[in-house]
Amino acid sequence: MAFRGKAGYMKTQVRYGACQRGGIMPDPKPKIGIALGSGGARGWIHVGVLQALKDEGFEPDIVAGCSMGALVGAAFAAGWLDELEEWAVSITRRDIVRLLDINLLNGGLIDGSRVIDVLRGFKGDALIQELEKPYMAIASNLTTGREVWLRDGSVFDAVRASVSIPGFLRPYNLNGQWLVDGGLTNPVPVSACRALGADFIIAVNPDANILKYIHEGNNKKTKPDHPDGSYSALMDRMLETVPPAVKERIRAMTPGFLNADAKPLSYMAVLSSSIDIMTGQIMRSRLAGEPPHIILDPQLGPFGTIEFNRAAEAIAEGRRIVQEALPFLHRQLG
């Protein structure tokens, strides 16, 4: 049984026991489901988690993902996780800036088309119902506020809808519905895994302890992040057609989202922290009613929401927390 601190929060990175349902799983071999949570760039941990589980003989049979979890989960279900990892670990800060197709007229700061175009280049688009494994992406209906389960149709339509962080990526119109990030309604979609037929569910929460690190980071002295001026030059090229007054506002907004230690608080830092607070509250409520058998909580430290260039360390942390969970998984699954 995991230790609980004074405030009631688990102190271990791997949580189980209280989340377990029905004791040791009976034969025949249960279907393993994995619920991959939201978390921006922190969601790269899902790559390491999935690879480690497969290596250790606990490859998930069913995948449900929210936001970044929807992206990595789609790659796993479609069989191109290795290609995604290769691209992820090659990303630089310069690449991130190039992918930020700023468009202030579509309900978000970033359009998001460039990222999806890159992903389509791996294997092309596919239909969810034709993937190698049962898969579901979670989005939220901007009009009704309801959770939306995307379980058929275009993989990349589902992923693009699920990653639409409010205020950052523009909402995505799919089948007449304006959809935004699934983290607003179901940040770690355990319920979706169960609906797809999973008997044993592993949940992964990239946002574990992130608020503590955000505020610690904002109290640190920040070193210049781009001494060669590369970030400034790229931003200038990207904003060539934007009026000067608007350009300065955008330049003031974006560095805080690229750097977890930015000071003072920027628009992006406030937006990111606010979403983390909100999704954290929603996650705790949802998991209380739909507990998984085990929750994997990474310890990433300060990690900016779009620091996608730090994939290697996130993937390594994903592998580490699986190793930590192995004794429990062996007891439960054999």
Give helix 68-78 / helix 81-90 axis angle, nearest 10°: 130
Count of C-beta atoms within a 10 Å radius of residue 281: 11
Element (H, E) at 201: strand 200-204
% helix / strand / coil in the chain, to the nearest 5?
45, 15, 40
Cis bond before residue 264 (omega within 30° of 0): yes
Q: Which of 74, 25, 42 is nearest to 202 (CA)?
A: 25
Q: Is 148:207 a contact under the CB 8 Å cutoff?
A: no
> What end-to-end distance do the CA atoms of the chain give, in Å?
19
CA distances, 37 to each of 46, 173, 182, 246 (Å): 9, 22, 9, 34
Torsion of CA 113, 114, 115, 118, to 10 degrees: 120
Q: Which of 38, 67, 191, 266 is catalytic?
A: 67
Q: Which of 61, 157, 181, 297 is catalytic?
A: 181
DSSP string, 82-121: HHHHHHHHH--HHHHHHH--B-TTSSSSB--HHHHHHHHH
For strand 172-174 and strand 177-181, is the pairing parallel, antiparallel, or unpaired? antiparallel
Catalytic status, residue 154 = no
* Furthest-apart CA atoms within the chain: distance in Å: 66
Catalytic status, residue 111 = no
* Residue 241: Cβ-neighbour burial (10 angstroms; 0-12, 13-18, 19+): exposed
In one letter, which amino acid is 104?
Answer: L
Q: Which two tokens stand for residue 55?
A: 């290596």
Q: Which residues are catalytic?
A: 67, 181
